[in-house]
Amino acid sequence: MRQVLVPTRGAYHVTGKSVYLDDIPVQQGTLYALPYDAPSAHAHITKLDVSKAAAYPGVVRILTYKDVTGENQIGGIIPDEPLFAEHEIHFWGMPVALIIATSEDAAVQARKLITIELEELPVITDPREARAKGELIIPPRTFNLGDTTNAWANCAHVFEGRADTNGQEHLYIETQGAYAYPTEHDSIRIASSTQGPTAVQRTIARVLGVPMHRVEVDVTRLGGGFGGKEDQASAWAALVALAAFILKKPVKLAMHRMDDMRMTGKRHPYSSDYKIGFDKDMKIVAYEATFHQNAGAAADLSPAVMERTLFHATNSYAIPNVHVTAYCCRTNLPPNTAFRGFGGPQGMFVIESAIAHAADKLGVSAREIQRRNLMVEGSEFSYGQIADHVNAKACWDLTDQKFDLDKLQSQNNAFNAKSTTHKKGMAIMPICFGISFTNTPMNHARALVHVYQDGSVGVSTGGVEMGQGLNTKMVQVAAAVFSIDPSRVKIESTNTSRVANTSPSAASATADLNGKALENGCNAILARLKEKASRMLNSTPDEITIADERVLNNGQRTDLDWKKLIHAAHWDRVNLSESGHYATPNIHFDKTKEKGHPFAYHVYGTAAVLVTVDCIRGTYAIDAVKLVHDFGKRMNDAVDIGQIEGGLVQGLGWMTMEEIVYNDKGKLLSNALSTYKVPDIHSVPKEITIEALPTDGHPLAIRRSKAVGEPPLMYGIGVYFAIQERDQGLPAGCAHGVRCAVHAGEGADDVVCMTL
């Protein structure tokens, strides 16, 4: 298919023409909202005094839980999250009141005048402590395959350890925000920076106490979401909607960066234990892990995130005996939430840690352990899905073939033999990521297609453009089905009145789900157009094709083109609009058995990460990341490469420099860009080489082009292991990449020779 870059998209961003929430021209009489949030992580509120703030010039109203017209509740999966704190505070940053003023500045000044008296309660920030105290949001879940208990006896080597990962700030360039306008019939129209327009609509309806049809949510685009706006855009939208509903005035909130960082949840920190057993050939016989997920103070999406940790606990390895358990631990941090990878990276880090541990202890290369255990066609995941279209080994082998891993290793060894101050490390990071919402019922979407009488096309889908290139792909889909120039297709904003009951744009599945719905809608219109054309040309519909805006009859060019056909069809009263629907076929999951076939397909890849560590200064540089990725049959190279680069850098930031710090009182210390460091131009890899695995793609992927949003984040995990890689003491020139008998000498009985 033609690879297009729709000229408006990127160009609009770089010329500042894209309209984000804060760029929407404000209506006359617009008021500005600002949340007053809890200055403690766990406490009883004994007194709240807003009188001075309410008297500040410009302040119109201060709302608290008492003003909520519907339910003071925003919990999506579990109703455990009040919009406003009532009598108790559960995390530092929890909204307590909402100041509405005639200017942002008045609201900021007034906020300083609110006083609160608290009776402090014990604060938990550590998930293991939460588990010990029985603070679990849902009961633990276990995925089991085979029988690990009996398997340990058959292992030649068994290792146990602990692996922890910290949280991560989403740092979307556009902060959270919403702008609500009261409309006729006591209704609300709201622009929201959300990945989940329907989640916002449902939450507002609940908080206001009105049916969903009275709430219209409109989203043009986001300046990034990364999961942080899948669920957590709803609170801010509900606050401004409530204000607009009560005051009958437009109300806007575009959050200050520090407010956003303090009040919103992040990637879940995890603290995990593992046990891994190998046979004498270093095949993994058994794997057990216990994951402690730091969920924060309310469920939010944590139970779903926790589930994906279990799904991805074995990464791309075939392991016959698996027993993995996860605990969703309630702490007094802001509720943690979706973040690119959705718990998958946290699970994958643990098994990579277990493999690195074994490699280090046995003096064998982690690379060789990884390679020997890659999944193959027909391997069974712990959740019962039988792997098909498996590209784990194909990606690995092509990485080796393209980049010559032995050579890279021996170059490192040669360098390390000579250098005492600097050492080079290499790690390989294979990935396997399941595509579909793990919650099967969420895997459906709709799209509304209008062909206007001049031949131009307007498309609405349930998908949200957040920088991932969705709109570009949607233009390509419509243009391809109709075989028209992409410039004829316009993607409209995402609007709950045009496309209803949407799943959030998440799980990397947005283009697949919405794209297939769009294809279905376009195909239905196309069928009517062919019927019309066949009548005009005295032919039959199956003889008609449209190619490059020209109508062909039996493969022969005719005088009829797209514009003429549309004009004729319209005046012949042919319906030129359609709503397409798509639901992923063949997926299911039984939570009572923890078995099923939850994913439409998996995405694979292998990255080789090369670093240099300055052992004197304690600094490091990422020399190169060379990877082979399973894109399927790519529909847009530029979009896909952007996703790989962005995902990789976001992943390595999480694994290396980004550090979320809460003190033991639950106060966020890394609360600004000065105290929270993300990768910049100096810290990104000096070289990123991306090779596509040549394949025919997957039929359940949009136009066989596989989902690409989240998987590349996990390549970043390789950076951690490359930095950690110990100097294996190999003499220069040993290309085996292992401490083999030849080079290491006889004697040490824990040395395994894997050179055959």
The interface mask with ligand MTE, positions 296-335, x = CB under 6 A, is: ----------------------------------------
Residue type, 140: P
User: What does the alpha-carbon distance between residue 309 and residue 322 come to, in Å, rounded to a whole number?
Assistant: 14
User: What does the alpha-carbon distance between residue 599 and residue 637 come to, in Å, rounded to a whole number?
Assistant: 24
User: What does the alpha-carbon distance between residue 660 and residue 649 come to, in Å, rounded to a whole number?
Assistant: 17
What tokens were used for 465? 């453009």
Annotation says 710 is catalytic:
yes
3-state helix, strand, coil in the chain (%, to 5): 30, 25, 40
What tokens were used for 92? 């530092």
Q: Which does 439 bind (CB under 5 to 8 A by kind): ligand MOS, ligand MTE, ligand HPA, none?
A: ligand HPA
> Contact between 466 and ligand MTE (CB under 6 A)?
yes
- The nearest distance, CB 435 to ligand MOS, in angstroms, is 11
State CA 212 to chain mean position distance: 27
- The nearest distance, CB 709 to ligand MTE, in angstroms, is 3
User: What does the alpha-carbon distance between residue 249 and residue 81 come to, in Å, rounded to a whole number?
Assistant: 27
- The nearest distance, CB 471 to ligand HPA, in angstroms, is 20
Rg of the chain's alpha carbons, rounded to an integer?
28
Q: Which is nearer to ligand MTE, 230 or 623 (CB)?
A: 230
Q: Which is nearer to ligand MTE, 224 or 277 (CB)?
A: 224
**Smallest Cα–Cα separation from 382: which of 317, 303, 302, 306?**
317
With tokens 């196309």, the residue in question is 526
User: What does the alpha-carbon distance between residue 78 and residue 71 come to, in Å, rounded to a whole number?
Assistant: 14
- The nearest distance, CB 507 to ligand MOS, in angstroms, is 5
**What dihedral do alpha carbons 268, 274, 279, 285 form, nearest 10°?**
-60
User: What does the alpha-carbon distance between residue 234 and residue 129 come to, in Å, rounded to a whole number?
Assistant: 30
Query: What single DSSP character describes residue 317?
Result: B
Q: Which is nearer to ligand HPA, 381 or 437 (CB)?
A: 437
**Smallest Cα–Cα separation from 477: which of 467, 497, 463?**
463
Among 96, 114, 475, 507, binds ligand MTE (CB under 6 A): 507
> Contact between 138 and ligand HPA (CB under 6 A)?
no
Q: Which is nearer to ligand MOS, 472 or 510 (CB)?
A: 510
| Strand 489-491 to 457-461 pairing | parallel
Q: Which does 232 bind (CB under 5 to 8 A by kind): ligand MOS, ligand HPA, ligand MTE, none?
A: none
> Contact between 226 and ligand MTE (CB under 6 A)?
yes
Q: Which is nearer to ligand HPA, 181 or 437 (CB)?
A: 437
Residue nearest to ligand HPA (CB): 507
Neighbours of 130 (CB within 10 A): 23
- The nearest distance, CB 305 to ligand HPA, in angstroms, is 8
Query: If residue 365 lies in a helix (H) or strand (E), which one and from where to where?
Result: none
Among 505, 553, 636, 695, binds ligand MTE (CB under 6 A): 505
Binding piece for ligand MTE, criterion CB under 6 A, among 452-460, 505-513, 585-593, 723-731:
505-513
- The nearest distance, CB 162 to ligand MTE, in angstroms, is 27
> Contact between 308 and ligand HPA (CB under 6 A)?
yes
Q: Which does 707 bind (CB under 5 to 8 A by kind): ligand MOS, ligand MTE, ligand HPA, none?
A: ligand MTE
- The nearest distance, CB 200 to ligand HPA, in angstroms, is 15
- Chain contacts with ligand MOS (rule: CB under 6 A): 195, 227, 230, 338-340, 342, 506-507, 710
Contact yes or no for 125/664 (Cβ under 8 A):
yes
> Contact between 9 and ligand HPA (CB under 6 A)?
no
- To the nearest 10 degrees (0 to 180), the angle between helices 510-536 and 562-571 is 80
Query: What single DSSP character describes residue 665?
Result: T
Q: Which does 438 bind (CB under 5 to 8 A by kind): ligand MOS, ligand HPA, ligand MTE, none?
A: ligand HPA
The one catalytic residue among 169, 691, 710, 725:
710
Contact yes or no for 679/55 (Cβ under 8 A):
no
Binding piece for ligand MTE, criterion CB under 6 A, among 55-63, 107-115, 225-233, 312-320:
225-233
Q: Which is nearer to ligand HPA, 439 or 545 (CB)?
A: 439
Within residues 694-713, the interface with ligand MTE by CB under 6 A covers 707, 709-710
User: What does the alpha-carbon distance between residue 179 and residue 33 come to, in Å, rounded to a whole number?
Assistant: 10
What tokens were used for 214? 């009275």
**Smallest Cα–Cα separation from 501: which of 209, 196, 193?**
196
> Contact between 439 and ligand HPA (CB under 6 A)?
yes
Number of H helices, E strands in the chain: 19, 29
- The nearest distance, CB 338 to ligand MTE, in angstroms, is 7
User: 3-state class of 284 per DSSP?
Assistant: strand
The interface mask with ligand HPA, positions 490-509, x = CB under 6 A, is: ----------------xx--
User: What does the alpha-carbon distance between residue 161 and residue 68 come to, in Å, rounded to a whole number?
Assistant: 49
Q: Which does 303 bind (CB under 5 to 8 A by kind): ligand MTE, ligand MOS, ligand HPA, none?
A: none
> Contact between 508 and ligand MTE (CB under 6 A)?
yes
User: What does the alpha-carbon distance between residue 524 and residue 578 come to, in Å, rounded to a whole number?
Assistant: 7
- The nearest distance, CB 442 to ligand MTE, in angstroms, is 12
**What dihedral do alpha carbons 368, 373, 377, 380 form, nearest 10°?**
-170
Q: Which is nearer to ligand HPA, 217 or 537 (CB)?
A: 217
- The nearest distance, CB 9 to ligand MTE, in angstroms, is 12
The residues of the shown chain that bind ligand MTE, judged by CB under 6 A, are 224-227, 340, 466-468, 470, 505-511, 643, 646, 707, 709-710
The residues of the shown chain that bind ligand HPA, judged by CB under 6 A, are 230, 301, 304, 308, 338, 342, 437-439, 442, 506-507
Query: Which residues are the active-site residues?
Result: 710
